[in-house]
A and B are shown apart, each in its own frame.
Chain A
Amino acid sequence: MNGLRSGYLVLILSILLAQGCGGNPETPGRPASATDDLGRTVQLPRTVERVVSLAPNLTEIVFAAGAGHKVVGVTTVDNYPSAVQALPRFGALPLDIEAIVALEPDLILANDDINNPRDTETFEAVGLPTFFFSFQGLDDVSRSIRAVGSLLGTAAHAEAAADSLEAAIAALRARTGGVETRPNTLFLIGDETLYAFGSESYMHTLIELAGGRSTTGTLDTVRPVLSDEFVLTEKPDVIFGAFGASYDPARLLAHHPTWDIVPAIQTGRVYSLDPDLVLRATPRLLDAAQLMARRLHPDLFEPAGTPAALPETP
């Protein structure tokens, strides 16, 4: 269903883009309205010069789409790219609506995973258009880059960025596509309370891209909390966690002492990643996939050398 919806969006945007004569931001024929990922029709100003991002991943996507210079405000959680450090901040949970209105944006970008669509009624009431994005699959990232480029008048830059992301994903897929074994790979968001990715998540694509098979890929809950015994019976070969780069893997066994017979624990294949890299739907998911691919299939990458010094966040 979502694929269909995204397909429509791309179609609509590309028609609108064609009408907009090559994405020149000053052209008067720019779209007056667009349909966002929630199916809402958003009235757009003629040109968007001031944009506010309500989610860290959208900030990264705006920068990737070549419109970073139009961002006038980000949440207090934003930290990437480094250019955001100089920008005005507002609280995200709960949303500091007054601070956002004071930034006088032309357009607000929101993520339905983090932001409450109810907040936008307040924005609409003060005449601020809010455009929602929805991220379920990995391809939603490149799709969103293109959409942002079209909304903010940097379509050519965004198109190039999305193309290169897709090419890099295809290159990694080609590299890991022929692996003989796909390790049973469990991705955990929490180490004590076992939050994980359930149905309809980009994480399963990411793991598949890295040459693994996602343990939680067949669950029917969107945000499951796993039990200790689920992990015991699924017997994952590798465990990745979004616990931060300096996490001590021994803590996982300390929290869950019965896991001493889980293959990943026995063979020491527990790896922690920077949460910003894996929990945000951004182009950096590719970096995460590459890091995971190196852990899952070290032989595919450097034959010998520096496995300890993996590049983390730039």
Chain B
Amino acid sequence: MRKPLLIVIGLLLCLFVSIGIAVAVGSEVTVGEAYRVLWYRVMPTEGPAPDATAERIVWRLRLPRVLLALLAGGGLSIIGIAMQTLVRNPLAEPYILGISSGASAGASLFYLGFLPPFLSKALSLPLAAFLGGLLTITTVYLVAKTRSRLSVARLLLAGVALSALMASITSFVTFASPSPQKVQAVLFWLLGSFASTHWGVLPIPTIATMLSLLLMMALARPLDAMLVGDEPAHSLGVPVEATKRVLIVLAALVTGTLVAASGAIGFVGLIVPHAVRSVVGVTHRRLLPISFLAGALFLLWADLVARILLPSQEVPVGVITAFCGVPFFLVLLRRSEYSFGS
């Protein structure tokens, strides 16, 4: 069984090449120049300093943007897996279940000054988004849960309803605020964009996402057991309820910190895990790292398309992921029975 390893190596190579392309696409900086700047920043002793304009564009504007896109793609993909394992259904996804909208609502409430700053601004924004996401997913989960089992129809409907409510809250607070750039702000929170990324926004979502990836990797076996069912997992000694709570908090944490940095981007957590499962199967030990890399690659390219689709303006990246994700979602929905393989 060398296949997963080959896939990981292949994805890493693709990522390396794609980062170079993504950093170079746009105005006047060539691919070679882009790699030269990156190389110079990593190994500052080599050769003459690159052109100051190219350096700023590549290192300070495009690279943080590309890295955030990678992080968001990977993070949303593993949270998609967490949600799908939680409710044992491949249709679950942070955007569809309303976590992203809830996080947007929390973030925009704080951003527009309707919530007091608890800590520093850099921490309060992700915190508000986290709480908004947590509130939403908890509500959705409680609505969908009956005594013995989770109703998928209720789950999706509750997710859609809560999502609409949270999006309305975001729109309302934005229009109620004195901000002169309301439409732009609403678009950012509801459809996502990496356009104004700088290095400063990266640390918090990086920590949250990496922590979640490690924790979920550590929980890989219990998660595998939960796919079979609560009862079998319980009989194998898995603390099912506790693990579910951990998954919910992780989902809110990763989605919240990512939404605070890049707005609500949908359907990544739906497409990527599904595609990866069809190649490497459902075992979390393989599914998680490969989905992380594949999701990173997917969102990197989605952002690239969002940047170049229209002349001299950008499309919100959430529009691109929705174009890809919604048909996918409908096909999955159409299948009456979906099993997690094995």
Interface residues, chain A, CB within 8 Å of chain B? 190, 192-193, 198, 219-221, 224-230, 232-233, 235, 257-258, 261
Contacts and interface: CB of A to CB of B under 8 A. Distances in A.
Contact of B61 (A193, A258, A261): A258
Contact of B313 (A190, A224, A229, A261): A224
A230 B27 contact: yes
Contacts of B312: 198, 219-221, 224, 226, 230
Most chain B beta-carbon contacts within 10 A, residue among A226, A235, A257: A257
A258 B60 contact: yes
Interface of B: 26-28, 52-53, 56-57, 60-62, 180-181, 184, 195, 198, 310-314
Given A220-B312, A221-B313, A232-B56, A192 B27 contact: no
B56 A258 contact: yes
A225 B198 CA distance: 18
Nearest to A196: B312
Contact of A190 (B26, B181, B314): B181
14 contacts: A190-B180, A192-B181, A193-B181, A193-B184, A198-B312, A221-B310, A225-B314, A229-B27, A230-B27, A232-B56, A232-B57, A233-B28, A257-B60, A258-B56
A227 B26 CA distance: 10
A221 B315 CA distance: 14
Nearest to A220: B311
A227 B195 CA distance: 8
A111 B266 CA distance: 38
A224 B310 CA distance: 11
Given A233-B28, A261-B52, A228 B311 contact: no
Contacts of B27: 229-230, 233
Contacts of A261: 52-53, 56
A229 B314 CA distance: 13
B123 to A, nearest CB: 20
Contacts of B56: 229, 232, 258, 261
A213 B184 CA distance: 28
A136 B195 CA distance: 29
B25 to A, nearest CB: 11
Contacts of A190: 180-181
Contacts of A224: 312-313
A229 B311 contact: no
Given A193-B181, A232-B57, A225 B52 contact: no
Nearest to B60: A258
A198 B61 CA distance: 23
B62 A257 contact: no
Given A220-B311, A258-B56, A229 B62 contact: yes
Most chain B beta-carbon contacts within 10 A, residue among A192, A220, A225, A229: A229
The 7 closest A-B pairs by CB, nearest first: A258-B56, A229-B57, A221-B312, A224-B312, A258-B60, A233-B27, A193-B184
Contacts of B198: 257
A221 B314 CA distance: 12
